[in-house]
Structure 1
Amino acid sequence: MFTGIIESLGEVSHLEKEGGNLHITIASPVAKELQIDQSMAHNGVCLTVVSLDENEYTVTAIEETLQKTNLGGLKLRDTVNLERAMILGSRLDGHIVQGHVDQTGTCTSVEEKDGSWMFSFEYDVSLNNPTIEKGSITIDGVSLTVVDSGTNTFSVAIIPYTYENTRFHSYEVGSKVNLEFDVIGKYVAKLLHWGSHGTNDE
C-alpha cells in the first residue's frame, strides 16, 4: 500500500530482457535503505526488489505489467518516480494507492499558470474507470486531485514543488503516463455497472 507522495526520483541505469520479463536497475539515494523482497512503487507500479547494492537496486516487471503500463517504454537514463510502501500507523498524506495501475493515459496539454501548471490527460473510457471532480487520481504514482473531469479526460493542477520533484517537469503533449483511479470510485462504478445489468438468480 502506498500514499502517492513521491520520495525521490530514480534513474534507469540498466535494462535487461529475459523472456517476457524486463529487469530494471535503478540508481537512487534510497537504494542503501532497501532490502530484498521490499515493495517499491515505480511510476505508480508496485514492484519487488530482487537485488541491490549501495547505490542501485533491481526490480523485475513481467510481460503483463509492461503491456499495461509505461514501464515497457523505459530507456537508459529515464527518470522514475519512487515511493516505498507506507508504514502502518503513519500519516496518510496523499490517498490510498495500491500500486496496481489500471491503464495508461496521454498528456494532451500543459498550461503554465501564475506559479503553477495545469496538465490535461485523456484515456480509454471503455475500461470503465471514472474520474470525479475533486476526487483522487494517481499519475505515475503521484497522488493528485482532479480539477476538471470529462467523459474520457481530466486535468490536474501542479504546484512548483511537485513539478520540480517528480516527473511532471518532463511531461509534454503526447507523454504516456500510468493511471491508478480512486479505489473507492472504482468499486462504486462496478457496483453501479452490475446493478444496471440486473442479477440472474436462475
Structure 2
Amino acid sequence: MFTGIVTDIGEIEALTPTAQGQLHRLRIGCSYDQTTIADGASIASNGICMTVVGSGTAGGRTWYEVDAGAETLAMTTAQHWGVGTRLNLERALKIGDELGGHIVTGHVDGVATVVAREELPDMARFTLETSRELARFIAPKGSVTLDGTSLTVNTVEDTRFSVLIIPHTLTATILGDWREGGAVNLEVDLMARYAARLSEMK
C-alpha cells in the first residue's frame, strides 16, 4: 500500500531481459539507505508496486533489483523503460506513517497519454487522455495516480482530464519531464472503483 507521495527519484542502471522476453530484471539506483531495504520489500516505481529481489551499494549509491513480469510489461510504461530512465519511487506505507496523498495500491490500471502541456505562472497544466473504460472512474476534484504521484483531477471531458502541477511536484518528481505524446502509468482511485462496482450491482 502506498500514498502517491514520491520520496525519491531513481534511475535504471541496468536492464536484463530473459530470452523469452517475458521478464526483465531491473537494477535501480536511488538515495535510500541500503540497510533499510530488505529482500521482498515493496517499492513503487512510477506507480508500479515491485518486489525487491536484491540490493547493494556501488560508488556511494544504493541500488536494488526488481523483476518486471509479462503482465507489467504489457499493461504499463515499463515496456518502454531502458537504462537511464528516471522513475518516481515510493517505499511501502508503514503503520503510523502520514497519509499525505490518497490510498494507492501500486496496481496500475492502464496508461494515459499526455495530449497537452500548458505552462502557467508557477505551475503547469497537463491534459491527458485514457481509455473510456478507465475514464469513467475519473471525476473533477477526485484523486488519480499518475506515474506514482497522487494528484487531484482538475477537469474532465469525455476521455480527457487535466491536472495542475505545483512547482514542488514538478521538481520533486519526474512530472517535470512530461511532454506531449508521452505515456504515463494510471491508477484510478480505489474508492471510485468500488463505488462504480456497487452501482452496477443495484
- Which range, TM-score by smaller chain? over 0.9
- Could you say which residue in structure 2 is the equivalent of 1:87? 94
* 3-state SS in 2 of match to 1:37: coil
Are 1:2 and 2:2 counterparts? yes
Structure 2 residue runs of 5 or longer lacking an equivalent are none
* 3-state SS in 1 of match to 2:32: helix
Give the number of equivalent residue pairs.
195
**Which of 43, 50, 55 is the matching residue for 2:53?**
50
Instruction: Look up the equivalent residue of 2:40 and give its one-letter code.
Output: D
Measured against aligned partners, the alpha-carbon deviations of 1:127-181 in whole angstroms (never above 9, x if no partner) come to: 5642111000000000000000122111101011100111111110011000000
In the TM superposition, structure 1's runs of 4+ consecutive aligned residues that sit over 4 Å from their partners are none
Q: How far apart are 1:77 and its partner, in Å?
A: 0.5
Instruction: Look up the equivalent residue of 1:42 and give its one-letter code.
Output: S
Q: How far apart are 1:192 and its partner, in Å?
A: 2.1
Cα gap change, 1:142 to 1:29, in 2 (>3 Å) = same
- Could you say which residue in structure 1 is the equivalent of 2:110? 103
TM-score by length of 1: 0.93
Instruction: Look up the equivalent residue of 1:38 and give its one-letter code.
Output: A
- Could you say which residue in structure 2 is the equivalent of 1:200? none
Structure 1 residue runs of 5 or longer lacking an equivalent are 196-202
Give matches, 1:20-169, under 5 Å: 20-30=22-32, 32=34, 33-54=36-57, 55-127=62-134, 129-169=136-176
TM-score by length of 2: 0.93
**What percentage of aligned pairs have identical amino acids?**
37
* Contact 2:135 2:160 (C-alpha < 8 Å) held by counterparts: no
- Could you say which residue in structure 2 is the equivalent of 1:198? none
Bigger mean CA deviation after superposition, 156-165 or 183-192? 183-192
* Contact 1:27 1:57 (C-alpha < 8 Å) held by counterparts: yes
Cα gap change, 1:103 to 1:167, in 2 (>3 Å) = same
* Separation in structure 1 between the aligned mates of residue 63 and residue 189 of structure 2, nearest angstrom: 31
* Contact 2:43 2:51 (C-alpha < 8 Å) held by counterparts: yes
Measured against aligned partners, the alpha-carbon deviations of 1:81-105 in whole angstroms (never above 9, x if no partner) come to: 0000011122100000000001100
Instruction: Look up the equivalent residue of 1:89 and give its one-letter code.
Output: G
Q: How far apart are 1:193 and its partner, in Å?
A: 2.8
* Contact 2:135 2:159 (C-alpha < 8 Å) held by counterparts: no
Cα gap change, 1:164 to 1:127, in 2 (>3 Å) = closer
- Pairwise CA RMSD: 1.2
* Separation in structure 1 between the aligned mates of residue 8 and residue 96 of structure 2, nearest angstrom: 22
* Separation in structure 1 between the aligned mates of residue 148 and residue 33 of structure 2, nearest angstrom: 18
- Could you say which residue in structure 2 is the equivalent of 1:16? 16
* 3-state SS in 2 of match to 1:53: strand
